[in-house]
Structure 1
Amino acid sequence: MTDASIPALFSLAGKTALVTGGTRGIGAAMAIALAEAGADIILVQRDNSNTTTADTITRTHARKAHIHTAELSDRASVKAIIPTLTAQGFHPTILLNCAGIQRRHPAEQFPDEDWDEVLSVNLTSVFTLCREFGAYLLSQPEARFEPGKKKGSIINVASLLSYQGGITVPAYAASKGGVGQLTKALSNEWVGKGINVNAIAPGYIDTDMNVALINDSNRNAGIMARIPAGRWGRPEDFKGPVVFLASEASSYVSGELVTVDGGWMGR
């Protein structure tokens, strides 16, 4: 019988999580949270120059951290991630797609190259990595998985702009709307095969991506007026949600966008 105690439900001991966008902000906080819950972490990064998250995982939380370099805007590079890692002996069962970029222009002036770059990193790489990760898990013998527990968890990072249109960010809004629908589509096919697929939709969070909004006094005031919690979000606000979605605690949760927004969408 599966252990249904609370510590067991939320434990990630013995698991390996593959994380994109884990060098700073929300991604770093979530990668570290997964390690705190017991998982070893593979960080997909453009290069090896930033080891802050990896060092925190190994030194503070005594878990293993491996950096795998890949360019998320290059489909061939993304497709090679899973085969390369498995050839090296890794067996990831958690995928966290957090990497994302933002470009701001009035819609009538939005450059083709910025549109292509945002869609490539924020949506195409997410689909490609989900596809390769899902195919890998589904190809594994059942003996590799613990009976009665899910084979794997995919957690994508969506946005409030999965629901809303935003201002001067048509590419970002399109990409995050796509992430939301992709999450549901993959869940429909895979949850019955043991792979839960969900997304986390951050609200307005105090990170590098939102510096322009934070520094715009008019926009900042308008945003703050609508957040019932009365503050911008912080990266650590995502630690609980990501562990929940990665663990057995969410075994009957799939195809969902968990909105972490201080109550914004309830207004």
Structure 2
Amino acid sequence: MMSVWVEMLKAAAPLKQSRYAMFTYGAVATSKSPLEDLSQPSRNFRGLRCYTETILAATRQADIAAIFETDLYHARVPTLALHWKKDSDYFPGEGRPDLPKHVEGRHGDIDHHDMRHYIDRLSHLHLNHVDVSKKDPFNLGTQFAYMAWGAYEKQKYWVSHKDVTMEQLIKKHLPHWRLVEHVQQDTLEAVDNLWLVQNSQSLDCLLAFEGTHTFEEFFRNLEGSNGGYCGFSDVHHGYADKLYWLMKLSMPKLRSSLSKCNKVMCTGHSLGGSLCEVFAACANSGRTSDEHYQVGRP
């Protein structure tokens, strides 16, 4: 029987109406108030936001990036707090844009930001003592985690301890997906990678944003929420500015391929997840006269 998630995707509007879903991992919060999907009556995004968290006797250790911005919120999207060898916490609908937050008993941990923790926990996901790892959207969340991680162009694979590329990860873990486009753009702080991957059966596409990978780029995280993007106010200025230039310079190279996609989703780890979040909000806003919408349109 076709999964509920696939039914939702097939019922969604065609690409020209700019309906996007997001799958993010350890993303940094993006705005003073949760970004909304203006294409949906509920104003909730489709997809999944994941962060890792380990429950100890008296504390909770959470992914340090997801907890980094103490005064900002994540988008309204189903949220999954990934626990290890325990039931994870899943918040459907608008999710929990406020979590994780610095409160007594919870603190950030850099090791929890590593992608192996996300894939291991998603692969063994239990909710209410039931294994749901093969059910969507969690199954999609596991698949897309490989591409969010592969967006770094080359990374040490924790299983083999050897460098692997996006193409190798797709071939090993995602047999029905193929790499369509790979665009590189020098944004002064880094040479950023943007990937377009397509499912050969459904023709759905995934746009993968690369996360922080240079010391200079890290300072983006320290900029405040003193700007707007695509009509949304108080968006993190560093992410909004980076996304604008990435879209302005890279999107023209992708439009021809995007026109051949059925549905489009985006993904990213860390900064890549934050860029995906702002991108999806703009793409779904319907604000066609806005400059940010214009540069990022498919």
Determine if the TM-score, normalized by the shorter chain, exceeds 0.5. Answer: no
TM-score, scaled to structure 2:
0.34
More helix by share: 1
More strand by share: 2
